[in-house]
């Protein structure tokens, strides 16, 4: 009888323990909700460029007039641009368009360029160029040359500062050169820089130092570009073009 009582007590204790184990609260693991990537993220902007390719694609006019494309953020406002440019003809005329991601990151918006006003762009389809941040204006300037030929005898060249500000791409002349070839090997060379409403004659050395002097008065750096043809445009090649440009800031 005593043994039976002991056995009943042990069984009751065991049942109590099992009950406690079954009623103990289970640990709840909260799972984080998946968040959508921000449309301002460069990768999302690159995807937007791919979705809007029919908007920013320039019209080619033959194999000799191919447009090249590069992804940039010339004004460093966090909204990417896609530039299309093509240098054509023996007179060296550079056509181009630029589209920038809109403020709400939902579309691309055409920028105003010199080409919209019957003026060409400088020769921008280069791998790198001197550049500078102008603290006074809060703008970035990219220094290029703009060449024009009048047959084989005359060659005009300007060193210009290209700037994107508030959706407008402008070109400011920093210095000019004029070369003329005369009969029997005679040559004339003239150099000038803006001064007031006109131009002041400068030396060949001063002309050659234009870009370096411009950078010396500002925060100078080298801007890099990766240009691709339209046939090469993919999300991956646009990303590489962007990486090439933005490396200077991250470097």
3-state secondary structure 15-64: HHHHHHHHHCCCCCCCCCCCCCCCCCCHHHHHHHHHHCHHHHCCCCCCHH
pLDDT at 156: 93
Give the gyration radius of the chain's Cα atoms. 32
Tokens for 151?
Answer: 């047959």
Q: How far are the Cα atoms of 55, 77, 80, 167 from residue 59, in angstroms, in the given order?
A: 11, 28, 21, 22
Domain ranges of the chain: 42-250
pLDDT at 7: 42
Using an 8 Å Cβ cutoff, are 215 and 202 in contact? Answer: no
pLDDT at 184: 72
Q: Structure pTM? A: 0.83
One digit per residue, pLDDT tens: the chain, 251 residues? Answer: 444 444 444 444 444 444 444 444 455 455 556 688 999 999 999 999 999 999 999 987 665 679 999 999 999 999 999 999 998 877 688 999 999 999 999 999 999 999 999 899 999 999 999 999 999 999 999 999 999 988 778 899 999 999 999 999 999 999 999 998 877 777 889 999 999 989 999 999 999 999 999 999 999 999 999 999 999 999 999 999 999 999 876 54
Residue 99 main-chain phi, psi, to 5 deg: -125, 140
């Amino acid at each position: 009888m005593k043994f039976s009582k002991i056995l009943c007590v042990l069984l009751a204790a065991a049942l109590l323990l099992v009950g406690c184990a079954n009623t103990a609260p289970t640990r709840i693991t909260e799972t984080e909700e998946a968040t959508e990537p921000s449309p301002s993220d460069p990768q999302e902007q690159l995807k937007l460029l791919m979705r809007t390719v029919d908007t920013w694609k320039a019209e080619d006019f033959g194999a000799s007039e191919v447009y090249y494309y590069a992804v940039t953020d010339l004004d460093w406002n966090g909204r990417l641009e896609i530039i299309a440019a093509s240098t054509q003809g023996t007179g060296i005329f550079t056509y181009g368009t630029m589209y920038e991601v809109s403020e709400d990151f939902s579309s691309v918006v055409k920028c105003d360029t010199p080409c919209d006003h019957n003026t060409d762009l400088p020769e921008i389809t280069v791998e790198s160029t001197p550049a500078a941040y102008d603290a006074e204006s809060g703008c970035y300037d990219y220094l290029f040359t703009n060449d024009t030929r009048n047959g084989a005898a005359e060659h005009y060249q300007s060193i210009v500062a290209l700037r994107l500000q508030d959706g407008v791409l402008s070109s400011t002349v920093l210095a000019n050169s004029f070369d003329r070839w005369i009969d029997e090997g005679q040559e004339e060379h003239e150099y000038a820089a803006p001064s007031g409403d006109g131009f002041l004659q400068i030396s060949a050395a001063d002309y050659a130092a234009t870009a370096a002097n411009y950078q010396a008065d500002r925060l100078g750096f080298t801007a890099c570009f990766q240009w691709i043809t339209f046939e090469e445009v993919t999300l991956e090649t646009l990303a590489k073009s962007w990486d090439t440009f933005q490396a200077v800031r991250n470097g």
